Chains A and B, each alone.
Chain A
């Protein structure tokens, strides 16, 4: 065994040497390496089996999810210093800790600046070798006992102080540490298990030397049952990455099982697959944490949270506990048969499927007779199928949604507090569509006995997402639970789109097209002289939950997206770096199932398969067709390595673009946003501004907004003279201009002198006040922000970048073009939030999460929640009028009884006050803002939702036009 392992390892090392293009960041073991081969050669090695191979189920389906190691720490560190470039120093990466300072800088640079691909490639090549050697060394560390000589600096620095603590205090404490371990990786590792370290070293990375081999070093050691003192830590191991296991600690328990030297190997060998284990360690009380200032980064990482519930749920663990926590909330899903065989009246025979089993749901199950009777009867009474009922269970109102298919009835009960009746139908419709995509029809989903566990999992996810979304995402504090927001955004028949700079977009599309052409080695038909297995119908690419490229027809895209949404894949890839995600399953795209609509063309009768591969933040979904042009699929084929590897290769290829995409995500949004808090009169807003000021990138935005507001040329009532004077920006930038400002209620162009110290003459003169509210979006990146607060220059042009065109435009035109950047009219930017949905393409755009997070403030998150809640209502108003849109006034019953009719536009004006206003003497300051939804049919069907400050009357159509024109899907 050991020999075999060793051989494998050498193979690997040699192999690494051959494949030059491999991205050094990647270390996804054998399969990754094999994929990289397809870049230039086809020396695909069959010896290296992908890890996911064991997870393929009998029916060919595969759901394999592996987090990249140290993922949690990375996510946390990321959240802690949001938006700062140093984020991208990848502490979490395997190599990062041992990378030299110089190297680190290089990395930083590569992240913050866009580089031509060629250069980047060259650098990758340069960098490539060392880490891989390093890696091998690290893995071998346990064997050659050199570990102790090279643990990461941070731990060593920590060490001496704590040693002293041992001396003086001897105060023992228990601590619990969660680490992520993956026994599957052992296969690739060269560490011989028979060596003294065993699984403890190989799996956890804890070096423990038994006392007989080390002598009397360990005082606590008892011969028979020796305590497991940590004598060393292996670099890049889970133990060292969690940052909380220190040399000198004693491992007491693993997952609450007491361990000692004699049983540790047995306990660890029981860990079946990639999972998180809880280690209990006895440690010495830390003397002084504050003096370890140089290890602040380590500290940040120390708050290692458990792997998020979502991931555990996806791994199929732990559903019972999650389910327990919502058992008092009534919710149920049942699939009931309407055709009862009365000859054999067995108990509960009509229940084909139900979930979950709890008291509250039992009550709903008990009244299933109501659902069956109503479904049966009401169709005859009112002439329409039943859609929903509302029930009171004790004090709780429950909405029940129905879906009838042939002779069976799907019933879903949800608490009204989570899902308003207005939106119940959308939720039920989406679940049904997801099930149909996955299983073909409801009957085939529910009526097979062996589907039950999978359906349980399916609905567990469904209810958890609706009822306690916060719990699933507990790993990330950035996202506050916003039930309405999730409902609204997920309910849109569209996918969130991220506009990319054209050259990146083009590159992405090219790479995808290359992949889709299937014109690579093993897949081309004449390679083996066989028909290819699958035809690639198309694929779509997500980056951090944003769709960045789509080569699928709209309906297929929505099908795929529903699946991803249901399994939370999008938030998963955005919040956590996925080590490896491979999903394979047969799907039944709804549009294709319905048959063709175009006369003279019939869809090929093939079977369809969905392949989803995720690496880091990228995720690609590929729709494959068997039969038709490709060879027909027999039985239930599992994922084909060639296709999986090819997708991975594509993703690796795309990885060079990550920097550019990140930059786009970090860039100030194209239509500039304002934070609601800035619009509250100074008394409160000022403090916040002051607080925010140090975190510079945000501040430049504030600055522009404040300036914009002080420009308030039409004498806005909200910003009285008082608030103007107290603007921190004013005092900071130019106190001399005070008098001018106070008098400056004239036109916006008068602003220029006041700004001059920090604005380039060019932009100051030309665009005056208006320019200010544009943020730093301008391609010349100058203006106020450029001068005072350094913002990374935008390398790629944003969608509004005029390029050379700009030179030919007259000044006036330029000014107009800049105005399109700002969605709202008037001197200041009053836009808070927006969602624009393109119905035809099935995509929508909205400010990115990061943009929203950057705006921070205390009112703003509230405002966004409110916006989403209102959008639920607005969209429901649009929806209810949709079916009648087809029929025109002709067959409209005149004189009453016709509802409000098709709604085109709907707006609501809200007022907000700061919470807990304590000042008794003055009334709380208020701010009013509009939330408006507009349905457009011309020139392309769109739905547009926008939220802006009340100060300027807006015409939503124009705003929508400006937005969609500027972003040019």
Chain B
């Protein structure tokens, strides 16, 4: 009956001025052109009357979000709502807004801002945009579990057991490649990076991590990929060199015309990284836990997301069910845990906790965002912690000047104990890793 399947999201991209469809992604069945036309039409009509349509909500959690970027590209996300109609519209709206934001940055990352804003040949743009599809699809489907950066705009990190060795290697490697931007990615998460890498805009770090994940998923050992930095240099491309060190561990460097991929691969990679193979293996062994073995989590923590608000890095993990009897029906599955963690993050940040990066996005975006996130501003006192008890689990969130911590607990943990466990967990991790 409905055109869009429940739970699926479709992304529409059109030129803002003329409404020519550029591409649609997501959802098995594409929306009919008439619908796409109307969705674009209502927004354009409003624009002419001085009214900017930003979002729409239907029963059952369906959502439509519009956004025009640089007066040139219109992105529309349509989400089909949920089966049970239980998904909170607010959470969904935030997800979609993040999605549009990321998709646009992705397009800039790959094609550069100029090509998107000065469209001379629509057909050619359409063709060029295909190169973004893999990245966009990755954003749409959120295939890889445990990557929350697209949502949090904090780089997913992995805390290696011996960070100093890796840090030295990354710094040396970057220097040798005549660059200041380099990072080591393990299991799709940043294990070490140069200081300058962390100075990139948080969203850029997240998108570059995403790009590196998709590049390494292609299976090649090394590649040389031109990238624009959506905020740092949207019009001048840089070269992103990526080398696979071990399966699951990649190192990359962002550089100018030199060195060539070949010279870097043959000369530098071996020199800096061969001595560290064992360290890298230890690093890989950390796996999805992201935290070194020195940190012992309490057994009743189901899932965890820790954000450092200053460095814009995050660590997240979901406990594998080894510690709990397998098939315990009372505990949510791993995938569900990730889902719940994400939802709880959105829930807390839209209602109570600030999302810092308002400070570091473009001014125009800031205006729009501060308008949509009006609820947080309504509090006369500062929210510090919050918790939620649902039928599946208990969630707890803490915000300190330095950190944000989000935790999931099984229902068996008494509610009054949550706070103690949460504060203890936070202090334990910070003490052990200096995160």
Contacts and interface: CB of A to CB of B under 8 A. Distances in A.
A877 to B, nearest CB: 7
B339 A896 contact: yes
B384 A898 contact: no
Contacts of A908: 352, 383, 385-386
A364 interface: yes
B283 interface: no
A529 interface: no
Contacts of A893: 7, 82-84
A370 B85 contact: no
Interface string A899-915: 11111111111111000
A377 B371 contact: no
B339 to A, nearest CB: 5
A876 B371 CA distance: 20
B402 interface: no
Given A391-B52, A397-B374, A910-B383, A378 B86 contact: no
A862 B381 contact: yes
Contacts of A954: 416
Contacts of B56: 374, 378, 386, 388-390
B217 to A, nearest CB: 21
Nearest to B52: A392
A742 B324 CA distance: 49
Given A908-B386, A910-B381, A899 B343 contact: yes
B378 A901 contact: no
A575 B67 CA distance: 48
B7 A383 contact: no
Q: How large is the interface on A (under 10, 10 to 19, 20 to 34, 35 or more residues)?
A: 35 or more
Given A390-B372, A955-B415, A911 B378 contact: no
A911 B382 CA distance: 5
B388 A903 contact: yes
A391 B66 CA distance: 10
A392 B51 contact: yes
A928 B384 contact: yes
Interface in A359-416: 363-364, 366-367, 369-370, 373-374, 377-395, 397, 416
A381 B49 CA distance: 25
A906 B348 CA distance: 11
Given A374-B42, A895-B333, A895-B335, A421 B90 contact: yes
A379 B81 CA distance: 12
Contact of B381 (A379, A384, A863): A863
A870 interface: yes
Contact of A363 (B45, B49, B58): B49
Interface stretch (A33-41, A638-646, A881-889): A881-889
Given A883-B86, A896-B336, A953-B419, A903 B389 contact: yes
Given A370-B53, A866-B379, A900-B343, A387 B59 contact: yes
B84 A898 contact: yes
B41 interface: yes
Contacts of A345: none
A714 interface: no
B50 A394 contact: yes
Interface in B298-350: 333, 335-336, 339-340, 343-344, 347
Interface string B55-74: 11111111110000000000
Q: How large is the interface on B (under 10, 10 to 19, 20 to 34, 35 or more residues)?
A: 35 or more
B46 A383 contact: no
Contacts of A378: 56, 58, 62, 64
A161 B347 CA distance: 68
B391 interface: yes
A811 to B, nearest CB: 29
Contact of A389 (B38, B53, B371, B416): B53
A389 B62 CA distance: 12
B375 to A, nearest CB: 5
A530 interface: no
A727 to B, nearest CB: 25
B147 to A, nearest CB: 15
Q: Which residue, A389, A393, A862, A894, has most C-beta atoms of chain B within 10 A?
A: A389
B91 interface: yes
A386 B63 CA distance: 9
Contacts of A390: 53-56, 372
A869 B84 contact: no
A880 interface: yes
Given A893-B7, A909-B383, A911-B381, A387 B58 contact: yes
A806 interface: no
B83 A382 contact: no
A953 B415 CA distance: 10
A366 B333 CA distance: 50
Contacts of A397: 54, 371-372, 374
B87 A897 contact: yes
B285 interface: no
Contacts of A421: 89-90, 375
A909 B347 contact: no
B35 interface: yes
A954 B414 CA distance: 12
A7 interface: no
Which label, helix, strand, loop or mixed, suits the secondary structure of the A interface?
mixed
Contacts of A363: 49-51
Contacts of B389: 903-906
Nearest to B335: A895
A519 B13 CA distance: 73
A720 B102 CA distance: 50
A393 B45 contact: no
A812 to B, nearest CB: 25
Contacts of B52: 391-393
A385 B55 contact: no
A873 interface: yes
A422 interface: yes
B354 to A, nearest CB: 14
A884 B83 CA distance: 10
A892 interface: yes
A422 B45 contact: no
B49 A366 contact: yes
B224 interface: no
A92 interface: no
B345 to A, nearest CB: 11
A381 B60 contact: no
Contact of B86 (A484, A894, A898): A898
Interface string B21-62: 000000000010001001101100110011111111111111
A897 B7 contact: yes
A312 interface: no
Q: Which residue, A887, A901, A902, has most C-beta atoms of chain B within 10 A?
A: A901
A2 B136 CA distance: 90
Contact of A420 (B6, B31, B375): B375
Nearest to B368: A392
Contact of A391 (B3, B53, B61, B390): B53
A901 B6 CA distance: 17
A28 B342 CA distance: 64
A865 interface: yes
Given A370-B51, A955-B415, A873 B351 contact: yes
A370 B7 CA distance: 25
A417 interface: yes
B4 interface: yes
Given A370-B51, A897-B87, A909-B385, 10 more contacts: A377-B38, A381-B4, A382-B63, A384-B85, A385-B59, A391-B52, A394-B50, A420-B375, A897-B6, A898-B84
11 contacts: A380-B2, A390-B53, A390-B372, A873-B351, A880-B88, A900-B340, A900-B343, A905-B389, A908-B352, A908-B386, A910-B384
The 9 lowest CB-CB distance pairs between A and B, nearest first, are A382-B62, A384-B59, A383-B2, A899-B87, A384-B60, A905-B389, A909-B385, A384-B58, A392-B52
Interface of B: 1-4, 6-7, 31, 35, 38-39, 41-42, 45-46, 49-64, 78-91, 333, 335-336, 339-340, 343-344, 347, 351-352, 367-368, 371-372, 374-375, 378-392, 415-416, 419
